[in-house]
Amino acid sequence: MHEQLQNFLNYLSVERGLAANTLESYGRDLRQYITFLREKKQIRVEEATQATVIGYLLHLQAKGRATATLSRSLAAIKSFYHFLAREQVIERDPTINLDAPKQEKRLPRVLSVEEVVKLLEQPDLKTPAGIRDRTMLEVLYATGLRVSELVSLKIKDVNIEEGYIRCFGKGSKERIIPLGSVATKYVTFYLDHARKFLASDPKEDTLFLNHHGKGLTRQGFWKIIKKYAEQLGIAHMITPHTLRHSVATHLLENGADLRSVQEILGHADISTTQIYTHLTRTKLKEVYEKTHPRA
């Protein structure tokens, strides 16, 4: 079955073009499921029934896993069984009538414009690393990139003259995003005055480099942002998506239309973007209640 799992992951990569992070997540969830079947149920993947899959989800729930984790695991399992049925490895898909558990929609935490500005001002511009950090934060806030997209940027992906960047999001979908004058200024400053001190290999074309001269990882960047958040005393408010959420909310608050925000963030479904309208309505209600004489 491990061979079938690898075939499935190859299919997701080659035919469906899923990103490396998604493939890693699918592989991890499915290996945990296969281990559960082998060690807890003493059965093979091909022998599982609908009750078996439900039992696994209940097992995850009993271990305190969040609803989102259960939904993600079930999505991976369903996709895997669909693949096995298509390849005629199994006769019947045991997940065919299983629906993901309903998730409670929680509004994402966002920073105010003032908090974002203070965060952006934390790096020390007297050092190459500080210039890099300020530039990354400026680009992140200007574009709403996912962290994986930010650290994957190449020098050639930035068009300084026209003021935009090109990135490849989920499913390797390309999108062009305006960079804005401030972020463009910092990218130019970083390329002219800082990157050469971080680079050790002239062939390295990743835009943002660590102190080894290699491209920063997602984990490396979030250590950076956590450090600056701790300096401000707002570390509890920072998550890997906080600035991305903040960008979307600030755009909508200042009159951007939903479709444009969807394009900027690279959401495949506009319903994902619509959650930010709830945030702006919540803020509008708070302002109304504070300021209207008959509220």
Residue in 33, 141, 190, 276 annotated catalytic: 276
pTM: 0.62
Pick from 10-19, 102-111, 162-171, 183-192: least confident:
102-111
User: Residue 7 to residues 26, 43, 176: CA-CA distances in angstroms?
Assistant: 13, 21, 33
Asked if 292 and 279 touch (Cβ cutoff 8 Å), the reply is no
The C-alpha R_g of the chain, in whole angstroms, comes to: 23
Does 244 qualify as catalytic in the annotation? yes
Residue in 78, 132, 195, 244 annotated catalytic: 244
Does 259 qualify as catalytic in the annotation? no
pLDDT digits (tens, 9 = 90+) for 232-289: 988 777 876 788 888 888 888 777 787 888 888 877 776 666 666 665 555 555 554 6
Is the predicted pLDDT of residue 10 greater than 50, yes or no? yes
Does 281 qualify as catalytic in the annotation? no
Pick from 21-35, 83-97, 248-262: least confident:
248-262
Residue in 146, 195, 245, 250 annotated catalytic: 146
CATH no. of 113-239: 1.10.443.10
Residue in 170, 175, 185, 214 annotated catalytic: 170
Asked if 50 and 94 touch (Cβ cutoff 8 Å), the reply is yes
3 band by pLDDT with thresholds 50, 70 and 90: confident
User: Domain 2-86 adopts which CATH fold?
Assistant: DNA polymerase; domain 1 (1.10.150)
Domain ranges of the chain: 2-86, 113-239
Asked if 206 and 199 touch (Cβ cutoff 8 Å), the reply is no
Return d(Cα 216, Cα 208) in angstroms, integer: 6
Does 267 qualify as catalytic in the annotation? yes
Return d(Cα 39, Cα 125) in angstroms, integer: 54
Same CATH topology for 2-86 and 113-239: the answer is: no
Question: Would you give the distance in Å from CA 37 to the centre of its chain?
Answer: 30
Residue in 41, 175, 214, 241 annotated catalytic: 241
